[in-house]
Amino acid sequence: MQTQGAPILTPPYGTPSPFEAGVVRHARARGRIPTAASSTTPLQDLHGVITPNGLFFERHHAGVPTIDPAQHRLMVHGLVDRPLIFTMDELMRFPSQTRMHFLECSGNSNYAAAPASATAGDIHGLISCCEWTGVPLATVLAEAGVQSHAAWVLAEGADAAGMTRSIPIAKALDDALLVYAQNGERLRPEQGYPLRVLLPGYEGNMSVKWLRRLKVGDQPFETREETSKYTDLMPDGTARQFTFVMEAKSVITFPSGSQQLQGHGFYEISGVAWSGRGRITRAEVSTDGGASWRDAVLQEPVLSKCLTRFRAPWTWDGAPALLQSRATDETGYVQPPRETLIGVRGLNSGYHNNAIQTWSVLADGSVRNAA
Amino acid sequence: MQTQGAPILTPPYGTPSPFEAGVVRHARARGRIPTAASSTTPLQDLHGVITPNGLFFERHHAGVPTIDPAQHRLMVHGLVDRPLIFTMDELMRFPSQTRMHFLECSGNSNYAAAPASATAGDIHGLISCCEWTGVPLATVLAEAGVQSHAAWVLAEGADAAGMTRSIPIAKALDDALLVYAQNGERLRPEQGYPLRVLLPGYEGNMSVKWLRRLKVGDQPFETREETSKYTDLMPDGTARQFTFVMEAKSVITFPSGSQQLQGHGFYEISGVAWSGRGRITRAEVSTDGGASWRDAVLQEPVLSKCLTRFRAPWTWDGAPALLQSRATDETGYVQPPRETLIGVRGLNSGYHNNAIQTWSVLADGSVRNAA
């Protein structure tokens, strides 16, 4: 209090405290193509349900393109009465909606064993949540005049991967948005600036970024990203295609992997739950590895296809403990144990793992991943 | 699509597109003390209701102190059974809550005439809204044991201004939070890192930043910031002290000052409404300077003491138009016209201006501030 603080506007766009320099996204191992990469949201360092834009997880198939919004165009064609090309200014004149939704990569929480030192973000950080603003896809399709036998819509990105996915027309006409803003400001480059599609509750790669083209058809387009990739190979050698919805899931973010409790006594267990099918209706926690469960409190408002923060009081007696959480959504579906999920799906596929996570609290207060 | 995009993690904490470099906070005129300053949120460039942390408005009385959270302490004393000092780690072990609330400076929308070129942010940008996470102040006061004759709580900041305000005990025990996170991550330095109090719906300066001390007393502490400052001087020479609540208010953000319409035809009028007394129940828009009004659609969920986005369709015929919005809250209070407010309060005080804003759309599509 003895010295004047820093003056204003340095910089005009603010940044976190230097004391929070460790709260960043973490890049995951890259393959042969360096731009085909991902980075995770540090869930263990976050509170509430909003992910700040600077920490929103990334998954790119060919890096982040630089797109001048004044030059960008969206083409709508195929089984429509009036093929159309829009500028960004034209698109943004349509009526907009704002909604809070999570976005989760289908490859989140890969089944492969993570090390004991793994954090919540390391294992489950390919999920983020923010407030999206955009134009309902249904509005733009109505403007083009979708023909009666239309059944699917191809969404194509303007990245070097030419990312393409087929969207069922029912979803396109339901709650799909053409998004231009996140958490108040325009989309971040790595989230598809200046335009992406958002399919609430569906696996993340379908919410195609840097959206440049929508083609309406009468059957799925069988793109690379829905045939050789993003299908679930089952134990019998057949594959599940078009597993769109991300099922109910949860993870405790405190206490979680690599965190350290400061002695026994009172703690508040806290985590996030979500479902691609709607609202979370229940989150339970266990401190004995699933032998017994009790209800956590859900932070209001509980929104559809959105992260829900849950909290439960816990007095730690200093003995080793196994912490788990499980989510139930409005359809009645309950998040399964890891063994149950593997029993059905096997380990051929790394996608759609919504199994219960276990954190092990050791007697010294350290917290470790116990899968 | 012919070249690979930028690789990941440059930087690990993301930043907006270079094409959005103009979307920043704007510093307002500074007085004799350069660190007693403010900067405004660019409301005209934002969508939805969340303000990204980098664009959250600022108002500092002596600059932004640099505080090591490991060294920071909160003292609670005065009329309590157990005077206490907390570290940040200790405070964060208490049960937390997460809520979305606006924060508005009582000096927002100063009555002084703004130029015709002023933007929505220039005039009304001392308001922002985010998701806050913290410990209920009531919990910490209960831990200290508030004595039966306690009536006020002094909050003191650790900045060089020693910012201090008196909080009525009823508010302290109602919905006040000791906040350590905003929009998921830890508080930004300019928002009080590592700890601030948040008094939902009350004038912003009472939500003391860099909080270091709470003293419980039986009467207000009559600090500088509630005597010589932040009181409303009325036309008869008396002053209103303790005008805590920010009344219902709204502003159209599109079309708004210095924006440019691209020809006549369909537009969606969009803006934000809020009330320090609870939920917004109605937002109306006028395109003829208040001669006629129609209801805008409120974006769900409508939350208490939170910005609410409203939207209304408008087909511009190319003739000059005067755009206005007015908000009604759950108490039935209706945002007043500027003349009505000035008729009651005069122009001695620059605080608590919640009057209706008028934007003038000229025949060439340019939009100007018309007060």
Q: What is the CATH number of the domain that holds A276?
A: 2.60.40.650
- Show the domain range for B298: 249-369
pLDDT attached to residue A112: 81
Contact B203, B246 (CB under 8 A): yes
Residues 6+ apart with CB under 8 A from A70: A87, A88
Contact B247, B276 (CB under 8 A): yes
Same domain membership, residue A272 and residue A235: no
Contact A175, A137 (CB under 8 A): no
**Does ipTM exceed 0.85?**
yes
pTM above 0.95, yes or no: yes
Same domain membership, residue B229 and residue B253: no
Distance CA B196, CA B27 (A): 22
Any domain includes A320: yes
Instruction: Please list the pLDDT of chain B residue by residue as tens digits (371 residues).
Output: 888 888 886 679 999 999 999 999 999 876 778 888 899 999 999 999 999 999 999 999 999 999 999 999 999 999 999 999 999 999 999 999 999 999 999 999 988 889 999 999 999 999 999 999 999 999 999 999 999 999 999 999 999 999 999 999 999 999 999 999 999 999 999 999 999 999 999 999 999 999 999 999 999 999 999 998 999 999 999 999 999 999 999 999 999 999 999 999 999 999 999 999 999 999 999 999 999 999 999 999 999 999 999 999 999 999 999 999 999 999 999 999 999 999 999 998 889 999 999 999 999 999 999 98
Distance CA A43, CA A307 (A): 12
Q: Smallest Cα–Cα separation from B284: which of B236, B248, B237?
A: B248
Same domain membership, residue B132 and residue B169: yes
pLDDT-based confidence at residue A343 (cuts at 50, 70, 90): very high
Q: Smallest Cα–Cα separation from B114: which of B251, B313, B238, B263?
A: B251
Same domain membership, residue B259 and residue B333: yes
What is the tens place of the pLDDT at every residue in A42-57?
Answer: 999 999 999 999 999 9
What is the tens place of the pLDDT at every residue in A301-330?
Answer: 999 999 999 999 999 999 999 999 999 999
Contact A225, A331 (CB under 8 A): no
What is the tens place of the pLDDT at every residue in B321-339?
Answer: 999 999 999 999 999 999 9
Based on the structure, what is the number of domains in chain B?
2
Same domain membership, residue A199 and residue A267: no
Any domain includes B259: yes
Same domain membership, residue A228 and residue A84: yes
pLDDT attached to residue A110: 86
Give the SS3 label for residue B171. Answer: helix
Interface test mutation site (partner A, options B2, B10, B19, max chain A beta carbons within 10 A): B19
Boundary (domain end) residue, out of A210, A240, A270: A240
Same domain membership, residue B361 and residue B279: yes
Q: What is the CATH number of the domain that holds B131?
A: 3.90.420.10
Distance CA A82, CA B202 (A): 52
Same domain membership, residue B224 and residue B98: yes
B17–A133 CB contact, under 8 Å:
no
How close B342 gets to chain A, by Cα (Å)? 32
Q: Choose between A228 and A89: higher pLDDT.
A: A89
Residues 6+ apart with CB under 8 A from A289: A322, A324, A358
Helix H or strand E encompassing B327: strand B321-329
In chain A, DSSP finds a helix count (H) and a strand count (E) of: 5, 24
Interface test mutation site (partner B, options A32, A58, A183, max chain B beta carbons within 10 A): A183
Boundary (domain end) residue, out of A192, A215, A240: A240
Nearest to B5 among A60, A68, A95 (CB): A60
Which chain A residues contact residue B62 at CB under 8 A?
4-5
Same domain membership, residue A294 and residue A229: no
pLDDT attached to residue B10: 62
Which chain A residues contact residue B91 at CB under 8 A?
none
Strand order in the sheet with B58-60: B26-27, B37-40, B58-60
A54–B266 CB contact, under 8 Å:
no
Residue type, B14: G
How close B346 gets to chain A, by Cα (Å)? 31
Boundary (domain end) residue, out of B184, B218, B240: B240
Same domain membership, residue B257 and residue B236: no
Same domain membership, residue A185 and residue A329: no
